[in-house]
Structure formats: C-alpha cells, structure tokens
Amino acid sequence: MRVREIESLSIAFLAVSAAMGVVLSSDTVLRTLCGLPLVLFLPGYAILRAALPEARSTLAGAAFAIGLSIVVTVFAGLALHSLRAMNHVGWAFALCVITVVASCVACFRSRPIVANKARYWPRLRRRQALMLICAAVIATGAVVLARQGALARREFAYTEFWMVPTPQVGGSVTIGFKNAEERPSSYDVEVMLDDKVIAVWNSIPLQTGHSWTTELAIPLGHSGAKKAEAWLFKNGDRGLIYRRVWLTATLKD
C-alpha cells in the first residue's frame, strides 16, 4: 500500500475515532479533546490531500489545513442549523463524513512517491518562531475565554420569555416563559408599569421543556400610553436580568 493511501486511511480512522468519542462520551473534557481535531484539523487536512495529492507535508500546509477546517466547520454549522441538528451528535457526524469522504478521494487520487525522498521541516528564524509562539498563546487565550462565555450562556439551550396582550380581556397581558435548557431551573418574574413594580412571582421551579404562563391586569387608569416591562431572573440571581420584555399599553374607550 502506498504511503499516501496509508496517510489518508489514517486520517479517516482518526476522524471516525474522534466522532465516536464525541458521541459516546458523557465527560465534557473527553468530548472536547475528541472534538478539537475534528473542528481544527482533520477535515481541512483531508480536503487538502484530496485537492493536492502530491503536496508535501509542511508547516505551511498544516496551517492552511487548520484554516480550511474552520471554514468547513462554519459551512457545516449552516447546514446543521437548517436541518435542526446543531448538537454534538450532528457536529460529529457532519465533520466525520466530510473527513472520510475527502480521505477516500485523496486515497483514490494518490500516486506513487519516491520512498527514499528526504522529508524535512522548514527551518524557522528566531523572529518567525517567536511570532508563532505568540500566535499560539493568543489563540489559546481566545479559546479559553470563548469557552467560558459559551458555557455561561449556551446559544442553543435557552429560555423563552414573552409578554403579549390578551385579546379577550382588555387591559390584560399574558406573561410566560419556557425552559428549553439542559437542566431544571428556578425563575423569578417581576413586572413594572412606568418603572413601578406591580407584580412579582418568586422561585418558580420549571423542568426542561415545560412552560409557565399567567394573566395580569394592567392598571391603566385614565392616562394615555404606559410602558409595561417584565424582567426574568434565573436561579435566584437578582444581579443579572436573564430575559427582558416590554410593550406599550393604552386604554381604549
């Protein structure tokens, strides 16, 4: 078997192993370690090998493979979003399929290479090496900061919050929220009319996938338009407004 074919099959095997680790593992750290190669290297390297089967493995090629993998991940995310499959299983499956298909194409297009041909890493000057080290430190710091923000506010595990007029009852609104997050939570709701608190609900427990609604009469009096605003707090944290909705209420004659 040719060297290029072995390399392409190895990339495909690594992609399948990493995808299985992401899907089957329940440990967050292990899942992250398995997912990083799928996101940052394997798809781009496989596509690069399929497009340029005779290209040598160089540091520049590895950097290009990383950038290409990120591009592939972005487009895979758009496809997964349209299919409503943007979760760890969908990500692992999509990136694994892309890598395996590209590896098969690279294996098919591979040609014999000279077995005794010397392969070497390009020599870097001190300034170039320092730039690479600084870039690696900056990239690592960016990943750490982005991970903390992503864990604190999950983009696709969220809580819906709404306040809409009740058509059947004049001067009344329907307030509600739905827990679409990964675990049960406790919520507090506070409603204000022109910055004055008119209703409060504390410690509302809600399981994942469940909703809570209530109707509230707005005391408009005989004045004109008033601003009704509702705040939602999560898990007793009154220092952070988790969701905020508002509407303008008017009295009809």
Residue 234's pLDDT band (cuts 50, 70, 90): very high
| 198, pLDDT greater than 60 | yes
In this model, does residue 110 exceed pLDDT 80?
no
Express the helix, strand and coil content of the chain in percent, nearest 5 each.
45, 25, 30
pLDDT in tens, 29-64: 888 888 888 888 899 888 888 887 776 667 777 888
H-only helix segments in 111-198? 126-152
**Picking from 2-11, 68-77, 113-122, 130-139, which range would have the lowest pLDDT averaged per residue?**
113-122
